[in-house]
Chain A
Amino acid sequence: MIKKIASCIGEYKKYTILTPVIIIGEVLMEILIPFVMAQIINVGIKGSGGVQYIVKMGLLMILMATFSLICGTLAGKYAAVAGMGLAKNLRQKLFDKVQDFSFKNVDKFSTASLVTRLTTDVTNTQNAFMMIIRTAVRAPMMMIGATIMALVTNAQLSVIFFIAIPVLGIALWLIGSHAHPRFQKMLKKYDAMNASVQENLIAIRVVKAFVREKYENEKFEASADDVRKAQLYAEKIVVLNNPIMQLVMYACITSIVWFGGQLIIGQSMDVGQLSSFISYVTQILMSLMMISFIFIMCVISRASFARIAEVLGETPDIEDGPDKDAVLKDGSIVFENVSFSYHDTADTYILSDINLEISSGETIGIIGGTGSSKTSLVQLIPRLYDTTAGNVIAGGHNVKDYTLEHLRNEVAMVLQNNVLFSGTIKDNLRWGNKNATDEEITEACKAAQAHDFIMSFPKGYDTDLGQGGVNVSGGQKQRLCIARALLKKPKIIILDDSTSAVDTATDSKIRQAFREQLSDTTTIIIAQRVSSVCDADKIIVLDDGRINGIGTHEQLLESNEIYREVYQSQQKGSDE
């Protein structure tokens, strides 16, 4: 887990190493300064050094402090460079990784959780990392340095440290290890509370319509109280940190004064040494404190590390096929004994035993009830998902042989839940083909019956869509999505319920344009309306993941019960 994150440091390695190295300079000064202090007191004040010596040593101290300041400032800067650099690399790696994900990978994480991982979790990691490189060397160095100085000053008294350090260390370790599971529990409660707020935001109209404000308030109070309790439970351990630290430190100071006092009385130590000894105690215990702080910080951020590492460690389960040069030679599609399930572990298939042959240039309609796996079937063609069993062959090769780019460039799919991106209409259309000329764009839009409404906007093709394409209606959005797919000039085009918000007249105009301009392109249309598919070369009726019937409109009306029912349910009105 840590390794994966560490590998993202990349070009910021220099700063990551430089930071602790420079900090060594700062720490050295911090350790030496009390020593100089003792000299001032012993030699300068008590001894024979006189004012001259004091000034000399004082200036030395100022010099040391200035050096330490330079080191500290540089270290602070480099730590920021390294920390933010890591954050940048992490975000980029995560983002790139997600781009390489298959649909299945994305489904597994859910988009909301991917967004959190890219934002909050990266921030947590970045802060922990910065903290670590600033203190990971500093604290132990400080501890070692101060211990050495203490030993040099008075070895006998140093015994106190060797008792105090393990005691404090064990106490801090106990606190940290107990806090971890409690914090994790708290984070879970926290997630639950946030989820309930989010749910209420999304469904506020339902809450109000059913007058459930009070009910929701009570639910929220319960979950907010859970958070409160979990937080109390976790943090009440952490608040022990400070008092325990104080206790140990005070114990050290009194012992030093007691034993050191006797040494002074016995004239084997002087007052200056006692005072610097106390400084060393403070430094040693402070650095232990810092170590424990890093520890707690890591505990709290561990969840974030894990969530990031999980994404980085995910292997995209759909990768380029072995044949780099293969391209679809035509738009023919064959399904051979295809079965499919979204979860490898599920024992029931969503699609079972599909055998199907589609010739290049045919228009195919697919009809079936809610949950009959229409979408699942067509998603196998551009390899949005891979078959669980059986093969899909498109353009002469198994779809698994092509590189994804070659395959998907030739198989255009207009998704059911389609998305437009912020930017102008033209920007969005260019997704289909970066280098499309204005003529090509207009042509595609005309075929998708989008040209007229685009031209009715004051800015035409340069109209800004805003995030999520909010400035166009549902039907207009669908037609833009179709135009975008057409610009790819694919060999196979799949429309997954892509004209549901388009009126029947426009719908038939689109199909007419397809027939006239895309006669070589295999067209697959999933639709709810029989009118959208009735003139197809072949209509496939899906029921519960199986092919229930294949044929033309007339054939199916005659032989297929489901198709007849669907037809009748939609024809009732117009027959009268």
Chain B
Amino acid sequence: MPPKQMKGVAKPKNTMATLKRIFSYMKEFKLQLTIVIIGILISAGASVAGTYLLKPVIDGYISPLIGQKHPDLSKFAGILFVMIAIYLCGALAAWVFSRMMLNISTKTLYKIRVDMFTKMESLPIRYFDTHTHGEIMSRYTNDADTIREMLTNSVTQFISSAITVTGVFIMMIKISWQLTLICIAVLAAVLYLIKVIGGKSGMFFKEQQKEIGKVNGYIEEMIEGQKVVKVFCHEEEAKSGFEKCNEELRQAATSANTFANILMPVMNNLSYLHYAITAIAGGIIAVNGILSLGGVVTFLQYTRQFAQPITQISQQFNAVLNALAGAERIFNLIDEEPETDDGYVTLVNAEKNEKGELTETDHHTGVWAWKHPHHDGTLTYTEVRGRVTFDDVVFGYVPEKTVLNGITLYAKPGQKIAFVGSTGAGKTTITNLINRFYDVPDGKIRYDEININKIKKADLRRSQSIVLQDTHLFTGSIKDNIRYGNLLATDEEIISAAKLANADTFIKHLPNGYDTVITGDGGNLSQGQRQLLAIARAAVADPPVLILDEATSSIDTRTESLIEKGMDRLMNGRTVFVIAHRLSTVRNSHAIMVLENGKIIERGSHDDLIKEHGRYFQLYTGMFELS
């Protein structure tokens, strides 16, 4: 297996490309985004203008009137109305842009999630072999959340902060270039501090992430093994083991958060320092008459206003880096190669006329045909019968290690073929190749004489039903779960499939019968009951080929013998591949293949093999272990 991807706050590798890609998701919101930007402009402009107006208001409308007995306040009121209008526009714009951005961000996130899921569904099984569930899940949760956070908060704050800073800066220059020089010096100091503190905190956050990984790993292992812990009275050891890694996490987390917490007061007080220096300088300038009193007052307001957005930007900085790293992980998944499918032979409903010729129809007839278009433009139809041949198949999940070493076999339509052998012998691998969960070179596996690589994957899989060792059910009613095999199945068909699998009895005993909702992978059903449902699900699909991979391993032998008749009926007329540990399950197969180290070492019927006194005989008489 390739090395698992490291979790944690990885720095984004390709910032610009990732940003571009996030914004490409927002293409369709061009108009709304324009409105957002205009809104931010207005809102930021209003706050700058509002402050700027203070100076002319004081200098031009208040100061001249000082000391008058009956001042004419109408002009003063007039300028105030202008201020009110500006402020109202600002507040309204603030609401419009944040509301609109919320719309855009939730929709964008929806699109990203759906893209991610759609891609995930199309990925080859190999991908799931090499990535843990937790790793994939965290893209839907953590990573997606950081992007949303960035879109709703950081982006607008960034833009509005940038606008405010620029606006304030221009205003400052307009009022006094001398005082602005101080501001530039302070800004340089601020940027330096952000770099130092940000760098330190990034380092500590990485450390923290590593410790979180360790603690979470410990928690998962111990809680999942909780029952074993209890049986062995191992509680105290578990507690003290946890204490150790918990304390390590605390230390790392404290350093990381200290730096994050310090950023704010540092920025804040730097702005006070700035304020004080500006006040002294401004005072001197004002006393010397270079700048008006109102000018100094306004400039000092601006110094406060200048500090705020910079503090905000610096606080958003980490969030943005995190979001970009998250986005990169998401895009990595979206960029994965999907399952390749060059197949062009499709599965169609067919009708057979008296001469035995097949014609395509659009309704269900029970007869299926492979529709095979040829290079010369002609079409041929081959009836789906379930003949499967393997011709010297060599396969490995990784190039270094072959699992199957030259498997040759054939299954005639309607035959039951069983695979027997120890874990790792390659039984499941063979069935994984028949439905192309994994691909083999051309021409090695043929289905009704057609190279399976030519058959469209969806159609190939539709022609087979598989019951896996670990039965997985979905949240939904029992009925929905059985219907999974055939979405068009009627209730009657579902019930008869359940009866076939002997599941009808226990289903009827459930509180709501077939409408009982099962949750969390069917946790409230026993393993055996779940297997019965999986068999019913396969039965309702009614395919020509059936694969049973340890399908009855959790069903006790008595129940198994009860469902035997149903199983026989299910297998009747189909090509069936059976993998079973329990030899009683495979006894009546047409052919039994004994696998060892990826090779078929014995093949034949039960009686033949028993007579042969080989490995099968040893297995059957309990002289050899299967594990």
Contact = CB atoms under 8 A, between A and B. Distances in A.
Contacts of B466: 205-206, 209
A68 B98 contact: no
Interface in A193-222: 193-213, 215-217, 220-221
B133 A198 contact: yes
Contact of B296 (A41, A118, A282, A531): A41
Contacts of B50: 250, 253
Contacts of B29: none
Nearest to B248: A88
Contact of A240 (B43, B95, B234, B294): B95
A215 B581 contact: no
Nearest to B624: A503
Give 7 nearest A-B pairs by CB, closest first: A72-B265, A475-B627, A76-B261, A203-B472, A58-B280, A504-B622, A370-B528
Given A418-B228, A473-B424, A370 B529 contact: yes
A118 B215 CA distance: 10
B520 A195 contact: yes
A257 B254 contact: no
B87 A250 contact: yes
B388 to A, nearest CB: 16
A468 B221 contact: yes
A207 B583 CA distance: 29
Task: Name, among A81, A88, A210, A279, the residue most crowded by chain B CB atoms within 10 Å (CB to CB).
Answer: A210
Interface string A99-119: 111110010001110110011
A573 B418 CA distance: 15
A209 B275 contact: no
Interface residues of A, number: 165
30 contacts: A45-B286, A54-B283, A66-B269, A69-B265, A69-B270, A73-B265, A77-B261, A84-B254, A95-B222, A95-B239, A199-B521, A200-B117, A201-B133, A203-B472, A206-B468, A210-B461, A211-B462, A250-B88, A254-B80, A254-B84, A258-B76, A264-B62, A275-B301, A278-B54, A404-B233, A473-B422, A475-B627, A505-B622, A508-B622, A574-B620
B555 interface: yes
B173 interface: no
Interface stretch (A160-168, A172-180, A228-236): A228-236
A250 B283 contact: no
Interface string A31-65: 00100010011001110001100110111011011
A306 interface: no
A198 B141 CA distance: 11
A130 B283 CA distance: 40
Nearest to A69: B269
A131 to B, nearest CB: 10
Contact of A209 (B109, B120, B238, B435): B435
Interface string A233-257: 0011001101110110011011001
Where chain B touches its partner, the secondary structure class is: helix
Given A199-B474, A215-B487, A369-B559, A26 B584 contact: no
Contact of B625 (A210, A243, A502): A502
B83 A254 contact: yes
Interface string B37-81: 000000100010010001001100111011110010100110010
B276 A194 contact: no
B601 interface: no
A421 interface: yes
Interface stretch (A1-9, A355-363, A409-417, A440-448): A409-417
Contacts of A570: 557, 584
B178 interface: no
B529 A505 contact: no
Given A54-B280, A65-B276, A247 B232 contact: no
Chain B, interface size: which category? 35 or more
A517 B277 CA distance: 88
A77 B67 CA distance: 53
A454 B457 CA distance: 43
A388 interface: no
A87 interface: yes
Interface in B563-599: 581, 583-584, 587
B128 A201 contact: yes
B92 A203 contact: no
A40 B283 contact: yes
Given A239-B98, A261-B57, 7 more contacts: A65-B272, A210-B484, A271-B297, A278-B301, A404-B233, A408-B230, A421-B222
Contacts of A144: none
A278 B283 CA distance: 19
B110 A225 contact: yes
Contacts of B423: 473-475
B587 to A, nearest CB: 5
B262 A573 contact: no
A115 B224 CA distance: 9
Interface in B225-282: 225-235, 237-239, 242-243, 246-247, 249-250, 253-258, 260-262, 264-266, 268-270, 272-273, 275-277, 279-280
